[in-house]
Amino acid sequence: VYKRQLLMNLTLSASGFNGTIPSTFQNLAQLTYLDFNSNQLEGTIPEFLGYLTKLAKIDLSKNQFRGEIPVSIGSLSNLEILDLSSNNLTGEIPIALGNLNNLSNLNLTHNRVTCKPINLKTDHCSDFVALRCYCTWTTP
């Protein structure tokens, strides 16, 4: 899978994977869809995911990721769906997520994140799931 630089969709949900996301995945420059939900992945969410600029969907829900949400994810201008629910994430939700103009679904439930109000620059934030943190989401 690592040498498939033209790979666009990668779905490995409920596959029994554990450990961390390998750094060699950063070479998948054409990746638009990344789904690793319902595994036992751990460690921090890799910063390099924010450099895979074609990503439209990231689903890392129901794993054991810890630490903060990488600020680099806020630079994914094509991102429509971000599901990081049911992990052990902590820290503040990056203000950079407000830059995600195409984001229509954000799920950060069942984590221990805190946040400040973020001004979302989008007209189609129709499916924001409750964050289970004290936030006020506003749209222009």
- Per-residue pLDDT tens for 54-84? 999 999 999 999 999 999 999 999 999 999 9
Which tokens belong to 125? 């934030």
Contact between 7 and 31 under an 8 Å Cβ cutoff? The reply is yes
For β-strands 112-114 and 57-59, DSSP reports them as: unpaired
Residue 115's pLDDT is what? 65
List of the chain residues with pLDDT < 50? 1-2, 123-127, 129-140
The answer to pTM > 0.85 is no
Helices (H), 5-131: none
Mean pLDDT of the chain: 83
Residue 119's pLDDT is what? 56
